[in-house]
Amino acid sequence: MRIARSVQALIPYTPGEQPKNKSAVKLNTNENPYPPSPSIVRTLATFDLDRLRRYPDPVFAELRETIAALYGTVPERVFVGNGSDEVLTLAARAFVDDDEALGSFDPSYSLYQTLAAIRNVPFVPSPLADDFSWAEPVVRGADGKPVALFLLTYPNAPTSVAYPQQKVADFAQTFPGVVIVDEAYADFADATCDALATAPDNTNVIVMRTLSKSYSLAGLRLGFCIGPEDLIEALYKVKDSYNVDALAQAVALVALKDQDYMRDNVAKVRKTREGTTLVLRSRGWDVPASQSNFLFAKPAHRAAAEIFEELRKRSIFVRYFPGPRTGDRLRITIGTDADMQQLLKTLLELDVEPAT
Ligand code: PMP
């Protein structure tokens, strides 16, 4: 066989569907419904083509300085990736030995399990409490292998809820491995964990962000992380030479400097989120209080899988994750107010008591 055994057995990550139909209501991949900062238009229009002829800055110095200034830290503690997914891939390469394991909460971002499989190390799931609140992480696999890297989504996905910050801090303090706090959705939350990453006595916590959600730049592919210098250096050691292209570096710089625009969009999404939550709850749905740009909602009457299919037929795309912990819910990205009105109107027709 030409394909490695671990790859033959690999179950790949399945991204959300990208429908061709432009008029579809797309609430399935946690994208931002609003456009990115308008200042990007000028950056693109005036972009010097000579920068494309040459290789990009391999260590994205300007971008690191901007990110460091934004978070009150030094560039040596900052790393940038081709989307935060790349940062996760590099972390699995840099922080896990062949005889160790990778862990995360369950349910959480399903890519984590795939990363362990690609790396050919065991994945150790830590079951969350029934209401998706914090439960003490499992730090050793059934085979005795220690979890060397714990990927902790904050707020969590697909559950949408955050944990008390102190829980994260206490866990990190006793955990002997590396903790990556994946803050993909943190701009939509009331509180974040990023102070952990910049704390001078922190030796094992990396906090990761993405421009895909709050900055409306999922198509750009730009993620970054902040952590102790030695861990950040390890990520540089294992990355491709030019992992962030010149255009992405230039656009990200402008987007990050336009904090007011990002904050305005986040405020709009949060407002729509609260309104949608109230309507669904008033119709008997179980909707945990979301700290992200999506809801993880359990229908009142019909099975989530059926509603998912019926919505899809009507060109309304939400996300459905089969499985014992997730299969009775839908993950619904917060869209514009018009998107949500269309969704809520359709759900009124679909989520009805089955005829007896
Ligand atoms: N972390 C979490 C929890 C996510 O949901 C996503 C988006 N699917 C990512 C990371 C990756 O984001 P990106 O690669 O677009 O930065």
Nearest protein CA to atom 6 of ligand 1, as residue: 184
Strand partners, 79: 225
Residue 222 CA, closest ligand 1 atom number: 16
**Rounded to whole angstroms, how far apart are CA atoms 166 and 43?**
41
pLDDT at position 17: 87
pLDDT at position 274: 98
| In the predicted structure, residue 354 carries a pLDDT above the cut 80 | no
pLDDT at position 255: 98
- Assess contact for 318 and 350: CB atoms under 8 A: no
| In the predicted structure, residue 356 carries a pLDDT above the cut 80 | no
Q: Which of 16, 26, 30, 28 is nearest to 188 (CA)?
A: 30
**Rounded to whole angstroms, how far apart are CA atoms 346 and 349?**
5
**Rounded to whole angstroms, how far apart are CA atoms 244 and 226?**
16
**H helix intervals, the chain:** 5-8, 39-45, 50-53, 61-71, 84-95, 111-119, 165-174, 194-198, 229-238, 246-257, 259-282, 304-313, 337-350
Q: Which of 312, 306, 343, 349 is nearest to 328 (CA)?
A: 306
Expressed in angstroms and rounded, the spacing between residue 176 Cα and the centre of ligand 1 is: 25
Residue position matching structure tokens 């050919």 = 120
pLDDT at position 330: 98
Expressed in angstroms and rounded, the spacing between residue 28 Cα and the centre of ligand 1 is: 13
pLDDT at position 353: 84
% of the chain at pLDDT higher than 90: 95
| In the predicted structure, residue 30 carries a pLDDT above the cut 90 | yes
pLDDT digits (tens, 9 = 90+) for 258-317: 999 999 999 999 999 999 999 999 999 999 999 999 999 999 999 999 999 999 999 999
| In the predicted structure, residue 320 carries a pLDDT above the cut 80 | yes
pLDDT digits (tens, 9 = 90+) for 206-259: 999 999 999 999 999 999 999 999 999 999 999 999 999 999 999 999 999 999
Expressed in angstroms and rounded, the spacing between residue 84 Cα and the centre of ligand 1 is: 6
Expressed in angstroms and rounded, the spacing between residue 88 Cα and the centre of ligand 1 is: 9
Expressed in angstroms and rounded, the spacing between residue 168 Cα and the centre of ligand 1 is: 19
The pLDDT of 322-336, averaged and rounded, is: 97
Neighbour-count burial of 143, counting CB atoms closer than 10 A to its CB (0-12 exposed, 13-18 middle, 19+ buried): exposed
Cis-peptide into 155, omega within 30 deg: yes
Length of the chain, in residues? 356
139 backbone dihedrals φ, ψ, rounded to 5°: -110, 5
Round the average pLDDT of the chain to a whole number and report it: 96
Amino acid identity at 292: S
Question: Which residues does 283 contact at the CB level (< 8 Å), separation at least 6?
Answer: 300, 347, 348, 351
Nearest protein CA to atom 8 of ligand 1, as residue: 29
pLDDT digits (tens, 9 = 90+) for 189-202: 999 999 999 999 99
Q: What is the pTM of this model?
A: 0.97
Neighbour-count burial of 205, counting CB atoms closer than 10 A to its CB (0-12 exposed, 13-18 middle, 19+ buried): buried
% of the chain at pLDDT higher than 70: 100
pLDDT digits (tens, 9 = 90+) for 234-247: 999 999 999 999 99
The pLDDT of 148-166, averaged and rounded, is: 97
Domains and CATH numbers, the chain: 5-35+260-350 (3.90.1150.10), 39-258 (3.40.640.10)
Mutate to test the pocket of ligand 1, among 112, 153, 182, 206 (most ligand atoms within 8 A of CB): 182
pLDDT at position 264: 98
pLDDT at position 93: 98
Tokens of 135: 């439960």
- Assess contact for 254 and 280: CB atoms under 8 A: no
User: Is the CB–ligand 1 distance for residue 184 below 6 Å?
Assistant: yes
Q: Which of 243, 238, 242 is nearest to 95 (CA)?
A: 238
Q: Where are the beta strands (DSSP E) in 1-157?
A: 25-26, 78-81, 101-106, 123-127, 147-153
Amino acid identity at 111: L
Angle between helices 84-95 and 229-238 (to 10 degrees): 100
Nearest protein CA to atom 12 of ligand 1, as residue: 84
Amino acid identity at 133: S
Expressed in angstroms and rounded, the spacing between residue 355 Cα and the centre of ligand 1 is: 40
User: Is the CB–ligand 1 distance for residue 109 below 6 Å?
Assistant: yes
